[in-house]
Amino acid sequence: MGKIKLALLSGGISSEREVSLSGAYQVYDVLDKEKYDITRYDPATDLLQLVKDAESIDAALLILHGPYGEDGTVQGLLELLDIPYQGAGVLGSALAMNKLASKRMYEQAGIPVPAYLDFVKGEKVDIHGCVQTLGLPIVVKPASAGSSVGMTIVKKEKDLEAAIAKAFDQDETILLEEYVKGLELTCAVLGNQDVEALPVIEIIPGEGHEFFDYEAKYVVGRTQEICPARIEDSVRDRVQELAVTAHKSLFLRGYSRSDMILSDQGVVVLETNTIPGMTETSLLPRAAKVGGYAFPELLDRLIELSMEKRRAV
Ligand SMILES: Nc1ncnc2c1ncn2[C@@H]1O[C@H](COP(=O)(O)OP(=O)(O)O)[C@@H](O)[C@H]1O
Ligand SMILES: [Mg+2]
């Protein structure tokens, strides 16, 4: 068999462009050049070229985060071009990108989520009412931005209005969530028909980061990530079960990574990422390594899964 002609997509126009580019750089580096003939495309500039080359492409590997990459738009284009790609399809990508849509699917599936309120731009927000319902602090976030962009943890009622305005700068829909105090955990799953949960990771944001914010996520050494997480077996089982249920509830395929918090009340799910960070030290590659897949093997597996006969989602 000849080499697999692989389109590596990275960059794009979302606020996570830089993260995407640095992830793809490392991915390119470790992919087996004997096995893959790789061409890079940046959706910001190269979509036309991608369309022109479509016929000769065997599979696409998407290292794109946030809107116009992780949200089903690029996936839709690839469907039309009949190019297989790793991970969630159009529906799953779109649902997972929107934290409100995700919550509604989670709730249907019996997955616990933090108490929340949602608002659309232009709607009147009763600030005091929000505080009475959710208590303080309140986590304000745009429904569909990633990497903690536009997000604020509000500790005083007087700061809520500005935080809401900031979130509305990113999206038409925003969420206000009860602040859940506890241990942050994240759990990835892998597989198409048989979905396997990878070892759970425990996340400890470093000094000076009150939550897992943009810097804590991407500046080396800012966060401690421990895998496998130091939790009881029963909690581990619960987290892995929730990660699989969350994956299925959003109609995902291939792989995903769900973020959760373990509090006194049990585990709540925050969100599911359909194209999790892909540098060698990112969460999913680290969990995969503990689970027995080195970084290049994980990439091989994702490409293999993408080329398996696709389901109609
Ligand atoms: N309801 C919440 N309670 C406590 N911390 C939260 C809550 N929601 C978000 N966070 C913190 O903010 C981080 C980012 O939130 P998340 O919902 O995962 O969005 P994203 O990763 O897409 O920015 C989480 O990892 C966590 O540290
Ligand atoms: Mg997250």
- pLDDT for 45-87, tens place per residue? 999 999 999 999 999 999 999 889 999 999 999 999 999 999 9
Return the HEC string of 148-187.
CCCCEEECCHHHHHHHHHHHHHHCCEEEEEECCCCEEEEE
Tell the CATH topology of 116-178: Dna Ligase; domain 1 (3.30.1490)
Cis bond before residue 142 (omega within 30° of 0) = no
Exactly one of 171, 177, 178, 259 is catalytic; name it.
259
Domain at 4-94, CATH class? alpha beta
CA–CA distance, 145 with 14 (Å, rounded to integer): 9
Checking if the pLDDT of 263 tops 60, the result is yes
Q: How confident is the model at residue 146 (pLDDT cuts 50, 70, 90)?
A: low
Give this prediction's pTM. Answer: 0.94
Asked: is 180-307 a CATH 3.30.470.20 domain? The reply is yes
Mean pLDDT of 147-159: 90
- CB distance 209 to 216 below 8 Å: yes
**β-bridge mates for residue 29, sequence order:** none
**Model confidence pLDDT, tens digit, residues 236-257:** 999 999 999 999 999 999 999 9
Question: Hey, where are the domains in the chain?
Answer: 4-94, 116-178, 180-307
Cα(128) to centroid(ligand 2), Å: 27
CB-count exposure of residue 44 (10 Å: 0-12, 13-18, 19+):
middle
Mean pLDDT of 259-286: 94
Cα(48) to centroid(ligand 1), Å: 36
Exactly one of 14, 98, 273, 282 is catalytic; name it.
273
Structure tokens at 140: 């304000």
Q: In residues, how long is the chain?
A: 313
* Residue with CA closest to ligand 1 atom 21: 147
Q: Is 259 a catalytic residue?
A: yes
Mean pLDDT of 176-187: 97
For CA atoms 176, 182, 186, 187, the dihedral sign is: negative
